[in-house]
């Protein structure tokens, strides 16, 4: 996939694209890749416009402590050295002595002349890394081993790269000559499996395998039908209090499961978590969110002609969704499928979802070049102004034929029609109807409460009056913890136990609000 596609995939299925914070991590990533593959794979690093100072070993402590010389740091010079007890900046290609750090032995002064990158490689090979200075104690310690007049590289460098999950770790493992300072489309980072896992920056639109981090997410949300009519806002509050939120759907499979959740005797509509927003965004029918790193708008487009997009001669144009055009579907197995039968955008979407996966999403010039340039073709891009209650950036929509309406006041909240294949329509948010939540029920839970009870004199738990007294004490304790206990009783374990080892069984119940 391209880097943005890989990022979306990892965020949907796991946590995010892989991040690396130690050499151990870097080595583990190499072992993850299939042995037969010798190219590069995407990891989660991407260039940003803001430059920041950080330490080679990964820390970001310059804001808490620094020893810059007056007038430093110089934004045009990207590596730092220590001289005369203060920090200076210089071109990273210059050869200086350098100071390493070792986890066990502290700082090591190395009197070999190397550029900053080679010094970093030397320290990582023979010690831990270039020296990190976190506080005044570290500064005093390194000054004791480095002659005050020597110019020695330390591990501080200026960086303009950031992890996909915003993790601010500064560990980098660049290949020789990387990263280049030239700007362009080469703003995403791949790990070279043929070069000891070193990193190179490449065009974000290249198709590469990739590595995610995080456990696999459950492919299904747990839906809960609430057979109680409420306004949309009240339903949202209820779902957030008892479950996670109002139902979110990002595929036809989700829609079908939502329908099955509703009681069989009900045939009206139910609230889901979609509601109107003031912001309008161009998004993909397949549910991948907004266009960001790649677009092919023709000059002057979009110009307000419509809310759906056609591709013609390699460029994109906005068009009225009711226009009749051929279209491009996408299928996981066969890729793009051009369908010459002309339809409206909505009908084309339904056709693609029925026979393939969805209307085509395009995220690279290579994909755009696969389309015919001779005629206009619907693609999966459309203008959207709806947002999920849980803030999920999913653009999958399943509207009825005449929805959503462009007429002002048509309704800002979305309901799912049970008797129309789960299609969606907009309603007034004040209308009362049943609703569907998602997430585990917070009110159905098991708690273990440990209590120590004592009595004066000889106690016999077989005494009914004593059992009652103990249960009353336990009930008072639970009540003080906010747990209402309607039913409690004593039971004896299946394995015979002494009288002082009896168990108390509690059946918990909770008020709804």
User: What's the pLDDT score for residue 407?
Assistant: 65
The ranges assigned to domains in the chain are 3-213, 223-438, 446-513
Tally the residues of the chain.
513
DSSP annotation string for 105-126: TEEEEEEEEE-HHHHHHHHHHH
Please confirm whether the linkage preceding 468 is cis (ω < 30° from 0). no
User: What's the pLDDT score for residue 495?
Assistant: 45
Strands 269-284 and 413-417 come out as antiparallel
Under DSSP, the state recorded for 501 is: G
Residue 137 token pair: 């104690």
**Span 223-438: which CATH code?**
3.10.100.10
- The phi, psi pair for 282, rounded to 5°, reads -85, 120
Residue 171 token pair: 């560990």
β-partners of residue 157 are 54, 79
User: What's the pLDDT score for residue 496?
Assistant: 47
Residue 471 token pair: 């249960």
User: What's the pLDDT score for residue 500?
Assistant: 47
Please check whether residue 171 is in contact with residue 56, taking contact to mean a CB–CB distance below 8 angstroms: yes
pLDDT in tens, the chain (513 residues): 999 889 888 887 788 899 898 888 888 999 889 888 989 999 999 988 778 899 999 888 888 899 999 999 987 889 999 999 999 999 999 999 999 999 888 999 999 999 999 999 999 999 999 999 999 999 999 999 998 889 999 999 998 888 887 777 888 999 888 887 665 657 899 999 888 899 999 998 899 999 998 876 666 678 999 999 999 999 999 998 888 899 999 888 889 999 999 988 898 999 999 998 887 888 888 876 556 556 789 999 999 888 899 999 889 999 999 999 999 998 877 788 999 999 999 899 989 988 888 899 887 777 788 886 778 999 999 988 888 898 877 778 898 887 887 666 668 899 999 988 899 999 999 999 999 999 888 765 445 556 666 766 667 767 788 788 888 877 777 665 545 556 677 776 544 444 444 444 444 333 322
């Amino acid at each position: 996939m391209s880097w943005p596609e890989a990022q979306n995939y990892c965020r949907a299925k796991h946590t995010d694209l892989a991040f690396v914070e130690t050499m151990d991590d870097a080595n583990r990533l190499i072992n993850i890749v299939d042995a037969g593959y010798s190219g590069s794979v995407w990891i989660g690093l991407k260039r940003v416009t803001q430059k920041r100072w950080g330490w080679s070993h990964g820390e970001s402590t310059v804001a808490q402590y620094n020893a810059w010389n007056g007038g430093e740091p110089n934004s045009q010079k990207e590596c730092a050295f220590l001289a005369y007890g203060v920090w200076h900046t210089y071109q990273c290609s210059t050869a200086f002595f350098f100071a390493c750090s070792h986890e066990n032995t502290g700082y090591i002064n190395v009197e070999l002349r190397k550029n900053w990158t080679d010094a970093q490689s030397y320290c990582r090979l023979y010690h831990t890394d270039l020296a990190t200075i976190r506080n005044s104690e570290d500064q005093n310690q390194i000054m004791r081993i480095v002659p005050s007049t020597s110019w020695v590289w330390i591990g501080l460098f200026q960086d303009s790269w950031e992890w996909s999950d915003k993790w601010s770790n500064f560990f980098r493992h660049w290949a020789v000559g990387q990263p280049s300072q030239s700007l362009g489309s080469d703003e995403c980072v791949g790990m070279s499996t043929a070069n000891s896992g070193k990193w190179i920056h490449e065009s974000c639109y290249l198709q590469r395998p990739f590595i995610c981090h995080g456990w696999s997410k459950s492919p299904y949300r747990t839906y809960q039908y609430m057979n109680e009519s409420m306004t949309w806002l009240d339903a949202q509050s209820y779902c957030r209090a008892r479950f996670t939120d109002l139902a979110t759907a990002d595929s036809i499979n989700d829609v079908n499961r939502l329908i099955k959740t509703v009681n069989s005797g009900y045939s009206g509509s139910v609230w889901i978590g979609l509601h109107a927003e003031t912001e309008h965004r161009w998004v993909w029918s397949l549910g991948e969110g907004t266009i960001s790193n790649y677009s092919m708008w023709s000059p002057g487009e979009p110009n307000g002609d419509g809310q759906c997009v056609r591709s013609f001669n390699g460029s994109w144009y906005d068009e009225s969704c009711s226009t009749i055009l051929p279209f491009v579907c996408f299928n996981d197995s066969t890729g793009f499928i051009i369908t010459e039968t002309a339809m409206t955008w909505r009908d084309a979407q339904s056709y693609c979802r029925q026979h393939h996966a969805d209307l085509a999403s395009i995220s690279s010039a290579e994909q755009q070049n696969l389309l015919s340039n001779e005629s206009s073709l619907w693609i999966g891009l459309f203008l959207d102004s709806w947002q999920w209650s849980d803030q999920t950036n999913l653009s999958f929509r399943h509207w009825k034929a005449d929805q959503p309406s462009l007429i002002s006041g048509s309704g800002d909240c979305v309901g799912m029609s049970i008797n129309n294949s789960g299609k969606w329509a907009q309603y007034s948010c004040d209308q009362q109807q049943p609703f569907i939540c998602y997430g585990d029920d917070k009110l159905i839970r098991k708690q273990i409460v440990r209590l120590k009870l004592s009595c004066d004199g000889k106690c016999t738990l077989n005494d009914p009056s004593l059992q009652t007294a103990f249960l009353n004490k336990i009930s008072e304790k639970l009540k003080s913890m906010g747990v209402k206990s309607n039913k409690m009783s004593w039971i004896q374990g299946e394995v015979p136990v002494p009288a002082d080892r009896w168990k108390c069984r509690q059946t918990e119940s909770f008020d709804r609000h």
